[in-house]
Chain A
Amino acid sequence: MSSDTLKKRKAKVIRSDGGTPETKRGRGEGDQEVRVYNEEVELEGRDPEQDYVLYKSTCDSLAKLMAEIQELKANGAKEGSEEVEEKLRQGCVHFITLKKLNRLAHMRLKKGRDQTHEAKQKVDVLHLQLQNLLYEVMHLQKEIGKCLEFKSQHEEIELVSVDDFLRDAPAEISRPHLTKDDPHQLTLARLDWELEQRKRLAEQYKSSLCSKEKILKGIELKKEYLGSLQPGLHAIMQASLPVQEYLSMPFERVQKQAEVARHLPPPLYVLFVQANAYGQACDKNLSVSISGDVDEAKALSRPPEDSQDDESDSDAEEEQQNTKRRRATVGVQLDDKRKEMLKRHPLSLCIDLKCKDGSVLHLFFYYLMNLNILTVKTKVSASADLSGAVSAGELLNSESLLNCLYASDHGQETPNPANRYQFDKVGIITFADYVSQLGHPYNWVQCLGGLQFSSDRPQAEGACSSLSASHMEATMKLLRGRLQSRLALHKQFGSLEHSIVPVSSECQHLFPAKVVSRLARWTMMSHQDFLELHFVQHVAKAGLVKETDLFFMAIVERGTARLQAAVVLNPRYPEITPLFSLSLLWKGERSGRSDDNLRAMESEVNVFRSELQGPRPGLQLLTNQIQRLCVCLDVYLETESQVCDGSEGPREFPREKMCLRTARYKFVYDYIVKKIYI
């Protein structure tokens, strides 16, 4: 029912919705002044509070009406009665009021929404503008930053300082009036100036290059000229060689030697100079020569950069080769290190000492670079044939020939204490293993080369070549003496092995004419064998036996008596007397310890060196000692056997000599021997 009413209402009322007041209406007949019902205008005039109150009252009255109608209907009123109809009409009016209020409410809402929407739009536009501006600002800032960071190439050019520039540059470039204030102009001016200067210098450079070329060409020409001179000079020198030899002034040889000597390492050089000097001044039989590879020596002294390049090339080659081979083991590397440490300088010095009888002692001196010591190897070329004596095998052995030239100089260990640390690094325990290969590092060799090492015993410090000079003469004399004594011994041994004691005519007066005891055997012994003999213990205990000594056994016989003599020969013979120890086998065994007679015989032979050594340089000491031993044995046997006469049969040893006195008690044998040949 209400819907019917609503429809009716619609047809009757002209309404205008929306915001725009409609001017065109269908009911008004062309009337310009149409009264347009603008509900919006009305809306603005109404107060929402009032509308709300109205709404509330309308609802109440409607509710009241409904209640009245209800009552009426309940009281039995008929359909369509007047009161009910009145109430219904009032009710409808209230309904219409409610609808209007609803409409108004809707319209207010819409308006509010529209307003909000508008405001929002405005705000959005402004916001957008703001964003745009901010973006623009940022962009501009970035640009500014970029501009500020820009490094122009001109800054890399080193420019002369401002003061110099202002001073040097001509006015048209520097334009001081402009540049004083304006840094940009200043920089431009400076760049201009720089450019100009560079152009000028480039010109200069080209011109100097040209002149250099010219000069180089001039040098080339001159060098060619000099080169052509060289063969001419050489020819002249060759021609002059015979003249030099004729005049005995071997300039060229000396010069060549001096040339090569320049490449010698310092110790060898000192030795070379001193030996030459000594040879010229004192000893005509000494000659010095240098042997070895000069090129290698030169290579050693070349600056390291060249050799590094070579090494890198060779390393590259080696690596290519090595990829096919296995990697070297640690042992091989250590071996290489050792070889490196023990390397010899390619040049070596050879000193030849000639003796009167024609034999020559060759000494080869080597320098071990990393260890800074000198070593020496020897060779003897004898004038006579040396093959005779078996026992003399050790005498001229090059290993031991120069042993103990000075006392206790064995030449087995390196004299440089610093080498100990070097050896530890590569695992060399002792230098003695390499001595036979590298030569002996005797102390006197170091002294000759001017090398002095601090030792346990403090010694006076001396300068290099003065040390060498002071030792040179003494050492050369000792070397010669050594060679001569060894050669003499060699000869003597040859004869001793044939049971002949060689006594020279000068020494004949020391002995009686007839000596009956004879040398039966002469052999060499080793150190071990010697120490095992029971009758030499006193000598060993007195510290007179060393490993470097040579040991021999002589057997002297007469009849049933057999005398064994063990001989200790010090390498420094004849400076040091050979020591004899005796043991006699005749009616029992006696030795120097048990029998005072034998002890006297030992002293007779060992102690009286001054008598027995014969003419200088005392090379006959050993043979004279042996001869005296034979004489003493004669005397002893003859006098001892005297004791037994009467009780036993004929004397085994008739008295051959005229002994004025026999002194058995005090054993004064030299007394006897002196008197024997009166």
Chain B
Amino acid sequence: MLWRANSLRLGGSSETESAHSAQGRGRKRNSALSLLDPWPFPSLLPSCRLASGTATSGTAPTAVIGSWASTLLQDKELEEIKKETGFSHSQIIPLYSRFTSLDKGENGTLSREDFQRIPELAINPLGDRIINAFFSEGEDQVNFRGFMRTLVHFQPIEDNEKRKDVNGPEPLNSRSNKLRFAFRLYDLDKDDTISCDELLQVLRMMVGENISDEQLGSITDRTIQEADQDGDSAISFTEFVKVLEKVDVEQKMSIWFLH
């Protein structure tokens, strides 16, 4: 008799300490009595149904199982993400695994510090802007749904053939939405235009201290002049799209997910 349960990730992060220290930051030490071999098949325990992303509370034994289970990806959520983003089952699981490994606080959400801990991202000149793209206005935590919704912008476009839905909303990884992602990297104040100042600031991030203000100013002015069509000395999204119409956005803004 074969049946499948929730997929889960157990590994270093599954063995958690008791509830009152589950929110600890920095060095987390597991007590010697923490569960070394939790029951590997969670669906057999009815008490395990907790939504992912909720913090845990409670007395010791249930707290151990509970906080462990809170890192589970519920079937229902998996299906919703599948529908929303178009990732396949076998792509979502390793991405969830990655999400939990970045989540050092083990509360089902990522903060900006969690992203900054990735060295290759920390040395990226636009690292901060990219991290910002994950967080919505005023929020400083992103859950797995939000994480996937941002990642999906980089899904290659041909995958859309599988879920052709003419009447539905435009898929998140369409050319237009990819360009919108890039536009938002420039648009610091989210007012749907790239002003001269904003372009200057982003350029400054990319070049560091290696180019003088005057040179950078010239580059900015030239760029805006070339792109601006309605004479407002700023780049709107339509103008942005026009400038980049010859660029192979699909290839440059796509990440090839395996499987």
Chains A and B belong together in one complex: no
Hey, which bits of chain B sit against chain A, CB under 8 A?
A: none
Hey, which bits of chain A sit against chain B, CB under 8 A?
A: none
